[in-house]
Structure 1
Amino acid sequence: MDELIERVDERDRVLGVVRRDEAVRHGWLHRVAVTVCRDRDGRILVHQRSRHVSRFPGCYEVAVGGAVAVGESYEEAARRELGEEMGVSVAPVRFVVRFLNRSGLSPHWLAVHEAVVPGSLAPGVDEVAWHGWLEESELFEFMRRRAFTPDSGPMLDRYLRASGQ
């Protein structure tokens, strides 16, 4: 069974509980939380999605995240996804910006967080094919040469503007 999420309106108010695949299929607004991960030197984590995932297989991303579950806050979802996808459970996440994103698979409210990740990562092999750390200047060139998920560019732009980078 597909995961249950909250369908929301244009002001991010809950309308009801639906299955995620249903929200995507009908283009209903829902909530997604992501985290831009940095190391202690300020580099940004980039990862490639596994070819086995259903959404954007093999594409690269500059944030770790996913749908917010029923009754979960954006921050709780960001922490949970960071643990599930990268094996990180000790890094505190900090909210940066939230916006209505229409550039992804379906429209959603996107809450962007930031975390400084200490030590090594243990990415979930079912979701992550490759990961690496890039300086911002390297990241922009890397993004020009690789296929990224549709919302990576708009998300990164909002994140950098909101965080003063």
Structure 2
Amino acid sequence: INDWHTVSCRLNIAANARAEELSLLQWIALANSIAPPPRPETRVTMDERFPIVDKHDHIVGYAKRSEVHGNNLRYRAVHILIFNQAGDVYLQQRSRWKDRHPLKWDSSAAGHVAAGESYDDTARRELKEELGVLVALQKIAKLPASQKTDQEFVWLYRGVASGDVVPDKSEIEQGAFLPPTVIDGWTSARPEDFAPGFLECWKTYRRQTRSRSEAQIFSHHNGAAPSD
């Protein structure tokens, strides 16, 4: 933010406020107030070919992007959640030029599996193209194709970036690292700010992390229990 003083005054935020001191409403207002200057439209290649799959995620053919989106066909995609060392998650705001869900907030990186690619190939490619980083990725869960995911089978990945991310300005309007609790509150208060696929991915991720935490607590308690 080039003129933080003006922005902080407009949003009634103390100029020296720390990130953890902002309320949920202040986070939302801040994220939605940062608008980059208009730029020339980046032409999306509508001739890209994607694998079309059946209800079991088996490839049954191929179609152009325009055909996939126009006919609501079932296909494959990846979503990646990138964390920093503090445990915050990078969210991107989708470019205004996207043919689906423009200007909605989304996963750190996401994209369609192209012809000849695996899910893992696509995750690495999208992360490099959109954020300019290559990190080790962990598979979290696979989401079934449904209306909530725009008929995409989605593999969800997680990774940790040790340095800065470099967003591709042709793909991303803006982005920010946010604490998971802030994302929880924001998605609950204003789900319309987000791409629907991200909402499903975030719900899945939070269920997974809660389940792991509960399992760890249970294991710890059992291990700490005195033996007879």
Give 1:93 shift. 1.3
Equivalences for 1:15-34 in 2 at 5 Å? 15-34=60-79
The answer (yes or no) to whether the contact 1:63–1:152 under 8 Å persists in 2 is no
Given the alignment, which residue of 115, 138, 148 partners 1:70? Answer: 115
Question: 1:135 and 2:179 equivalent?
Answer: yes
Counterpart residue number, 2:30 = none
Amino acid at match of 1:150: P
The answer (yes or no) to whether the contact 1:34–1:63 under 8 Å persists in 2 is yes
Counterpart residue number, 1:2 = 47
Deviations 1:28-72 (A, max 9, x none): 211001111111121111111121222211111134111001121
Amino acid at match of 1:38: F
Counterparts of 1:53 and 1:126, CA distance in 2? 10
Task: Give SS of 2:193's match.
Answer: coil
Amino acid at match of 2:114: A
Amino acid at match of 1:10: K
More strand by proportion, 1 or 2? 1
Counterparts of 1:152 and 1:137, CA distance in 2? 16
Counterparts of 1:101 and 1:11, CA distance in 2? 9
Equivalences for 1:149-164 in 2 at 5 Å? 149-163=195-209, 164=212
Task: Give SS of 1:79's match.
Answer: helix
Task: Give SS of 1:41's match.
Answer: coil
Q: Which runs of 4+ in 1 moved over 4 A?
A: none
The answer (yes or no) to whether the contact 1:53–1:126 under 8 Å persists in 2 is no
The answer (yes or no) to whether the contact 2:93–2:175 under 8 Å persists in 1 is yes
Counterparts of 1:148 and 1:68, CA distance in 2? 21
Equivalences for 1:1-165 in 2 at 5 Å? 1-89=46-134, 91-102=135-146, 103-104=148-149, 106-143=150-187, 144-145=189-190, 147-163=193-209, 164=212
The structure whose RCO (Cα within 8 Å, separation 6+) is larger is: 1
Counterparts of 1:2 and 1:63, CA distance in 2? 25
Flag structure 2 segments of 5+ consecutive residues without an equivalent. Answer: 1-45, 214-228
The answer (yes or no) to whether the contact 1:68–1:74 under 8 Å persists in 2 is yes
The answer (yes or no) to whether the contact 1:35–1:63 under 8 Å persists in 2 is yes
Counterparts of 2:53 and 2:139, CA distance in 1? 20
Task: Give SS of 1:2's match.
Answer: coil
The alignment covers a number of residue pairs equal to 163
CA RMSD of aligned residues (A): 1.6
Percent of pairs with identical residues: 26
